[in-house]
Amino acid sequence: MNLGDILTTRQIVPELAARNRWEAIDELIGCLVAAGKVLPEHREAITAVVKKRETSMSTGIGFGIGIPHASTDLIPEVIAAFGRSRTGVSFDSLDNQPVHLVTLFLVPAGQFQRHLHTLAGIAKVLRRDDFLKSITNASDAEAMIKLIRDFSEGLR
């Protein structure tokens, strides 16, 4: 499973309004609710578990990338949302730089191996310089999903 497998255009925010990591998490979970991937009545609980994980250690891995994630029993399958911020989001990143690409993903509780594999797969795509340049210049969600799928497929 790779990032291209778990995203649709409805799960992409081409220009995040968020200014910090907490707002980015809220915005991307809102995107998952709007896409029908998270039930509205589960929004608060899922937000709380992601923010609790983020509080323990920032998922701003450096290089302008943030990957907030968590496990929860409120979803039946791995889901994700992807957001881009051209201006940058304050994320308390390891390199103290703003984050421009945020991938939030959730894994069903008890699927530790899937969690690790998903995280590793996302990081592989996001760390590629050619991907970063292409996704930064993508015009909209359609162009972004095509790039994500093309680059994810190339890593299989």
Q: Helix (H, G, I), strand (E, B), or coil: what is residue 99?
A: strand
User: Which residues does 46 contact at the CB level (< 8 Å), separation at least 6?
Assistant: 29, 38, 70, 72, 74, 75, 106
| Burial of 97 per CB tally in 10 Å (0-12, 13-18, 19+) | middle
Query: What distances in angstroms separate CA 38 from CA 1, 53, 75, one per listed residue?
Result: 19, 18, 7
Instruction: Give the whole-angstrom CA distance, residue 133 versus residue 138.
Output: 9
In 3-state terms the chain splits into helix, strand, coil percentages (rounded to 5) of 50, 20, 30
Q: Which of 42, 69, 100, 117 is catalytic?
A: 69
Is 115 one of the annotated active-site residues of the chain? no
> How many CB atoms lie under 10 A from the CB of residue 79?
20
Strand 60-62 to strand 65-66: parallel, antiparallel, or no bridges (unpaired)? antiparallel
Residue numbers annotated as active site: 69
